[in-house]
């Protein structure tokens, strides 16, 4: 039998803090990082690649946790693992000693995501198809068996989930053809990082519009006068019909969020993203009620499916921004897509960081084909950083993700990138230590 022969975990960090790419009101100096997992097998040339995303310090904790999480996979039959992707997820998740450190949240959950993302990548590569197609060719029963529905049955049972998916089977082929023509719509955040000057902001907004984007997102929340000026610039460039989104990255308490967003209402934002603590379901619901018709978006720090269940129950979100490397891989992502469809909330996944765009394109495409069947109010994040490190980087054209065709989950990174940016001993970091006495 073919089996998993080894697990390699790399702590890889990129020095993004040098250019303030990614800077916002909460995170001023992130070094975009990944705890990167390679599952090797004894089949010629077949490996699985996955990761979780962090912003620097602590990436070593995720890497160490991923090593522990992946340990039970060594020596295991690859056919068996890839043949029941729900079973392997539940087995790893059920380790009660590691569970104590969550459950289903924080470092151990990020590590589970990294490992199970690699298992899903492996399964798609062995099937010779991109992940979106692997999912799109699974039956409703197979999808629901893979999904983590624990703690969700008060709002969505297995049977209801199957019925929901069964209702979307008939149009799958047609929707694939449609997306092969149009791509999946995305928006750009590259323009609006908080550390950028007004001139750079204006130039990047103009560039985005010229490239076909209809949405632009700005970081806000550090200084209201700055926000008013910056939103003015963006709205001027976008014109009245473009969509402006604003993102506070959790800096406000609930009353302050309401007040601040109302002060920016004149710029007609489509949504306010992460207005407060990502854990505050009832807080988001209160903000949503107060700032309507401005939408409320959150989810990149949505720790698990139980949080999203409540967000939907409480009517707290207009847009669900799940994260492919924070939720426990495709297994838990599936559950959140099912819940979102059940409550009729559009999913607009969080991306950017390291490789998140590469992952979420598969999820959005699959959602349209097999879960929601809708593009209404849906637009996936795209950030133009760090794609050069990926073997199969995502391709965006005219404001849309082009459907990936390479087998897998697009998670594999170049060996040279690992060698340069592995921390602390990759060639980049070793060299910088030498010159800067870091």
Per the residue annotation, which of 217, 219, 284, 389 is the catalytic one? 219
Q: Categorise residue 75: left if φ over 0, alpha if ψ from -120 to 50, beta otherwise.
A: left
Interaction between residue 313 and a second copy (CB under 8 A)? yes
Q: Is 219 a catalytic residue?
A: yes
Interaction between residue 140 and a second copy (CB under 8 A)? no
Kindly state the smallest distance separating residue 255's Cβ from a second copy, in Å.
6
Interaction between residue 346 and a second copy (CB under 8 A)? no
Q: How many CA atoms are closer than 13 Å to the CA of 85, on its beta-carbon side?
A: 26
Kindly state the smallest distance separating residue 253's Cβ from a second copy, in Å.
4
Size of the site for a second copy (CB under 8 A): 61
Contacts with a second copy in 80-139 (CB under 8 A)? Answer: 95-110
Contacts with a second copy in 270-289 (CB under 8 A)? Answer: 276-283, 286
Which one of 64-72, 77-85, 118-126, 239-247 is the stretch in contact with a second copy (CB under 8 A)?
64-72
Q: How far apart are CA 383 and CA 354, in angstroms?
A: 10
Choice between 184 and 308, CB closer to a second copy? 308
Choice between 153 and 405, CB closer to a second copy? 153
Which one of 124-132, 177-185, 222-230, 305-313 is the stretch in contact with a second copy (CB under 8 A)?
305-313
Kindly state the smallest distance separating residue 99's Cβ from a second copy, in Å.
7
Per the residue annotation, which of 350, 362, 385, 389 is the catalytic one? 350
Q: What angle do CA 372, 374, 376 make, to 5 degrees?
A: 125
Choice between 109 and 217, CB closer to a second copy? 109
Which one of 130-138, 158-166, 306-314, 424-432 is the stretch in contact with a second copy (CB under 8 A)?
306-314
Kindly state the smallest distance separating residue 337's Cβ from a second copy, in Å.
19
Interaction between residue 18 and a second copy (CB under 8 A)? no
Contacts with a second copy in 155-194 (CB under 8 A)? Answer: none
Interaction between residue 306 and a second copy (CB under 8 A)? yes
What the block records as the tokens of 69 is 């999480």
Contacts with a second copy in 39-58 (CB under 8 A)? Answer: 54-58
Q: How far apart are CA 278 and CA 261, in angstroms?
A: 17
Please say whether the beta carbons of 278 and 249 come within 8 A: no
What the block records as the tokens of 5 is 């022969």
Kindly state the smallest distance separating residue 231's Cβ from a second copy, in Å.
24
How many other β-carbons are positioned within 10 Å of the β-carbon of residue 6? Answer: 14
**Binding pattern to a second copy, positions 381-410, x when CB under 8 A?**
------------------------------
Q: Where are the beta strands (DSSP E) in 65-110?
A: none
Interaction between residue 26 and a second copy (CB under 8 A)? yes
Kindly state the smallest distance separating residue 69's Cβ from a second copy, in Å.
10
Interaction between residue 417 and a second copy (CB under 8 A)? no
Kindly state the smallest distance separating residue 65's Cβ from a second copy, in Å.
6
* DSSP per-residue string spanning 165-211: HHTTSTTHHHHHHHHHHH-EEEEEEEEE-TTS-HHHHHHHHHHHHHT
Kindly state the smallest distance separating residue 126's Cβ from a second copy, in Å.
30
How many other β-carbons are positioned within 10 Å of the β-carbon of residue 161? Answer: 25
**Binding pattern to a second copy, positions 237-276, x when CB under 8 A?**
-------------x--xxxx-------------------x
Q: How far apart are CA 366 and CA 48, in angstroms?
A: 20
Active site residues: 219, 350
Q: Residue numbers of the site for a second copy (CB under 8 A)?
A: 26-31, 54-58, 60-62, 64-65, 68, 95-110, 150-154, 250, 253-256, 276-283, 286, 301, 303-304, 306-307, 309-310, 313-314
């Amino acid at each position: 039998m073919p089996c998993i022969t080894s697990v390699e975990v790399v702590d890889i960090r990129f020095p993004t803090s040098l250019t303030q790419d990614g800077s916002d009101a909460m995170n001023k100096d992130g070094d975009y990082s990944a705890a990167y997992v390679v599952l090797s097998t004894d089949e010629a040339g077949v490996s699985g690649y996955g990761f979780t995303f962090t912003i620097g310090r602590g990436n070593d904790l995720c890497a160490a946790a991923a090593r522990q999480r992946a340990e039970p996979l060594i020596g295991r039959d690859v056919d068996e693992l890839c043949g029941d992707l729900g079973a392997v997820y539940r087995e790893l998740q059920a380790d009660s000693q590691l569970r104590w450190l969550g459950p289903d949240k924080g470092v151990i959950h990020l590590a589970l995501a990294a490992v199970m993302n690699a298992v899903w990548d492996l399964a798609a590569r062995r099937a010779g198809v991109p992940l979106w197609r692997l999912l799109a060719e699974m039956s409703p029963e197979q999808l629901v068996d893979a999904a983590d529905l624990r703690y969700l049955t008060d709002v969505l049972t297995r049977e209801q989930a199957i019925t929901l998916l069964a209702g979307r089977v008939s149009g799958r082929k047609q929707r694939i053809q449609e997306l092969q023509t149009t791509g999946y719509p995305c928006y750009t955040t590259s323009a609006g990082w908080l550390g950028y000057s007004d001139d750079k902001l204006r130039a990047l907004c103009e560039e985005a519009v010229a490239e076909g984007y209809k949405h632009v997102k700005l970081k806000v929340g550090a200084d209201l006068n700055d926000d008013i000026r910056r939103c003015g610039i963006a709205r001027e460039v976008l014109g009245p019909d473009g969509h402006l989104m604003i993102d506070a990255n959790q800096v406000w308490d609930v009353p302050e969020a309401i007040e601040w967003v109302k002060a920016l209402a004149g710029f007609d934002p489509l949504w306010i993203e992460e207005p407060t603590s990502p854990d505050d379901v009832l807080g988001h619901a209160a903000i949503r009620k107060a700032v309507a018709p401005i939408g409320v978006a959150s989810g990149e720090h949505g720790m698990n499916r139980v949080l999203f269940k409540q967000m939907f129950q409480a009517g707290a979100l207009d847009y669900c921004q799940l994260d492919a490397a924070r939720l426990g891989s495709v297994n838990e992502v599936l559950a959140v897509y099912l819940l979102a469809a059940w409550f009729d909330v559009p999913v607009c996944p969080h991306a950017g960081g390291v490789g998140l765009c590469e992952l979420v394109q598969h999820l959005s495409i699959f959602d349209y084909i097999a879960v929601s069947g809708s593009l209404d109010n849906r637009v996936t994040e795209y950030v133009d950083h760090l794609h050069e490190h990926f073997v199969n980087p995502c391709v965006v054209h005219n404001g849309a993700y082009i459907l990936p065709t390479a087998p897998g989950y697009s998670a594999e990174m170049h060996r040279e990138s690992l060698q340069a940016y592995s921390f602390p001993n990759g060639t980049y970091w070793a060299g910088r230590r030498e010159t800067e006495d870091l």
